[in-house]
Structure 1
């Protein structure tokens, strides 16, 4: 009995470790970043999503799992990021490695936009997924002779062309199964961008980050430039927010509200944390407290939020 139990456990562990993501799960997980990248570049979200499905095996390929490379993009000349090596058209070829899947999607857009080989694609109608699929094949994105047909099949079987109208995957089912009630605009159903609730801290508009959010995605959602969000939040370019983190979509103020004069530092709190908590710019916060940029406070220390330290 003990032998059977151990064997069963090993089978379960093996099954869990190799569990495959379904195509539907993959689409649901990454659809919004495909739509965001379409908004940034004009590349049909249906094409990006279909390529992601095909090139990564719905996120199950070794390259996508271990390197977050969902589009099979090779290193090419000028790539300065991390690299991995796999046998593909030739032995031991160099592929790009990304920190996150989102980075792979963003680089896919940049790769197509920055390569003269694909320039003619951007003259096509952004809703003509068939022309884009054929254009990618003609430009030599992949060596498969039926690459365009594979992409079109994925798009049509999963109705991904609806993504090009900024309607996400879950909304497709809702849209097909129930009608919109009289007097209620269907814009909420058709617009997957404005999904973050705006709240205010120190009378400054902000949102709370969710899993998978990036500054680039949020900037597009609220009609801002990437650099603006990084500046508003005193963050370096490329920073990725964590779930439940407050992100300001307006510039923070030079000092806190009148009801918040000081803050007693708790264990582990940084000056940036305090800056975000009260909606105060980091530079004047350091200056007001006689501290150098990058210096961190000690637990129990009093941080002055409005007036200079006495």
Structure 2
């Protein structure tokens, strides 16, 4: 009788232990996609690293390299965000079914103000994959209206393109076009459009 009682007690403790462990895993802290990572890469080094890839890809898609380089720099704090540094995702692209993904927190602005929510982001092997996937998503209207791609292809200046991005994609940030244009101007990124 005593060994049965011990077995029941052991099973109850085992069950409680497993329940507690699962609860801890479920509530494990999820990191912010924008968390800054310590890195020795400067702004100039980041731009030089992605510029040749962006130039080749942007030419194939008919988009100005300056706008794509500027977006990558702005989105990732020049490659210093967790999402960029560890997962090579330069444009905060959300994962679709079948894509390798990581769940991170992201700040989102809505009519109710800033909120933070968990998002599944695509994991890329390198920056090239991220750049080409972003341009393909733009062209195919995968995440946004296809009109955005048409605007980016036909825009006369990077300022026009920045405004189109704000209107179609970053409308929750009323300063997005200004911020993006400043990154492009400050880093003289329009030189990559030639």
What is the root-mean-square deviation of aligned Cα atoms in Å?
A: 1.9
Measure, in 2, the Cα distance between the counterparts of 1:127 and 1:21. 32
The corresponding residue for 1:137 is 166
2:53 alignment partner in structure 1: 33
Residue 92 of structure 1 pairs with residue 92 of structure 2: no
Higher RCO (C-alpha under 8 Å, 6+ residues apart) = 2
- Is 1:103 the equivalent of 2:129? yes
CA pair 126-79 structure 1, distance change in 2 beyond 3 A: farther
Q: TM-score, normalised by structure 1?
A: 0.45
Give the 5 Å matches for 1:32-181. 32-75=52-95, 78-88=96-106, 89=108, 90-115=116-141, 117-123=145-151, 124-125=153-154, 127-141=156-170, 143-165=172-194
Of structures 1 and 2, the larger Rg is shown by 1
Q: Any runs of at least 4 consecutive aligned residues in structure 1 with deviations exceeding 3 A, and if so which?
A: 123-127
Distance 1:146 1:37 in 2: 27
1:99 CA displacement? 1.4
User: Match of 1:172?
Assistant: none
* Local SS of the residue matching 1:39: helix
* Aligned mates of 1:149, 1:61 — CA distance in 2: 21
**Corresponding residue of 2:29:** none
- Partner residue, 2:28: none
**1-structure distance, mates of 2:135, 2:97:** 15
1:193-247 deviations in whole A, cap 9, x for unaligned?
A: xxxxxxxxxxxxxxxxxxxxxxxxxxxxxxxxxxxxxxxxxxxxxxxxxxxxxxx
Q: Which has the higher helix share?
A: 2
Match status 1:22 vs 2:42: yes
1:26–1:59 CA contact under 8 A, matched in 2: yes
Distance 1:136 1:118 in 2: 12
- State how far apart, in whole Å, the 1-side matches of 2:192 and 2:155 are: 11
TM-score under structure 2 length normalisation: 0.70
- TM-superposed CA distance for 1:141, in Å, is 3.8
2:165–2:177 Cα contact (<8 Å) kept: yes
* Structure 1 residue 72 displacement after superposition: 1.0
| Residue 19 (structure 1) shift | 3.0
